[in-house]
Amino acid sequence: MSLSPPEPKPEAEIMAQWQQSYTVPLVSIVCITYNHEPYIRDALNGFLMQQTDYPFEVLIHDDASKDNTADIIRDYEQRYPNIIKPIYQTENQYSKGIKISPTFNFPRAQGDYIALCEGDDFWTCSDKISRQVSFLRKNPKIFLSIHRAHICTDNQIIDVSTSHGEYETVLSSKLVYTTAGQFCPTASMVIARDKVAVMPEFFARVPIGDFFLEAISAIGGVHYLPEVCSVYRVGGSGSWTNRVVSDDHRFFKKSERMLNSLKELEAYLQVPDSQYVHHKATAIHLNLANRHLQQGDFKKYRTHWFASFKPIRRLQRTDIRLLLGLLRIRF
């Protein structure tokens, strides 16, 4: 099943749809990319097929790719000089611990709204940003809009991302913390720029930027479209799952950093959102307890299992599995 976007129209035809009353882009599309040569054309074509009556810009950051990603972007930049606005790094910034979008892309965004899509994902609907931005403009107290996505591995569509229902609605921000797995695909997010133009100081230290972006921008609720409007690639050799979840040392280090960052997030947020943070912390403590149990480290297992009950919560199936696992290992 192929969902690749079509080849884009010439720049003049795209810009001819835009109303002359706009002097700057209304939407800034933010894309970070590294060694995405097989995929970057799909991402760029998905941006350029968007049908809007207002201007948009594509702020793309190539983090010193070692393949031909930068050359492909240069070709698009030459053909779409008023839309494609790249940064080409000569040294990899991510490896230095720098958060790419808050450092390089968000500050230069001119649009009132920021749409996210990484270089190995792509959009499949030409009215994606127009629908999301239309809702956010009419509802200024909501800052985040999302939708579902196809999940792709080895260039095959295998599933659909987490669903929050079959109807367009406004979701509670609590779901950011309680949804099992990822709350929403990164390429589905459209955010009011005011929410991310200046990120809180602790954001520079967070281990998983997407979750904290969701938490910060979900205040007031989240606009949700049930349609599948993008493709999310998973399982590549450089994916987060392969690099972190399968590596015990990295998993433990990343989880502890998440717990520390959640404490800072809780202090940053206002009620009621600050009260939801413990749901995420509970899930992390339970995952840590399970991993330590598998390794036979009963002291750390007990520490994280008991920590998951602060504040008091009901027993879950995970707790039963952990207790049964302890019995199998100890006896």
Q: How much of the chain is helix, strand and coil, in % rounded to 5?
A: 45, 20, 40
Strands 144-153 and 156-160: antiparallel
244-273: pLDDT as tens digits: 455 888 899 999 999 999 999 999 999 889
Token pair for residue 322? Answer: 């952990």
Are 209 and 182 contacting, i.e. CB atoms less than 8 angstroms apart?
no
How far the first Cα of the chain sits from its last, in Å, is 50
For residues 317 and 186, give the distance between their C-alpha atoms in angstroms, rounded to a whole number: 29
| Residue 9: C-alpha distances to residues 6, 17, 47, 131, 241 (Å) | 9, 12, 11, 21, 36
Confidence class of residue 153 from pLDDT cuts 50, 70 and 90? confident
Per-residue model confidence (pLDDT) at position 181? 82
- Whether pLDDT at 17 is above 90: yes
Strands 122-123 and 56-62: unpaired
44-102: pLDDT as tens digits: 999 999 999 999 999 999 999 999 999 999 999 999 999 999 999 999 999 998 999 99
The model's pTM is: 0.89
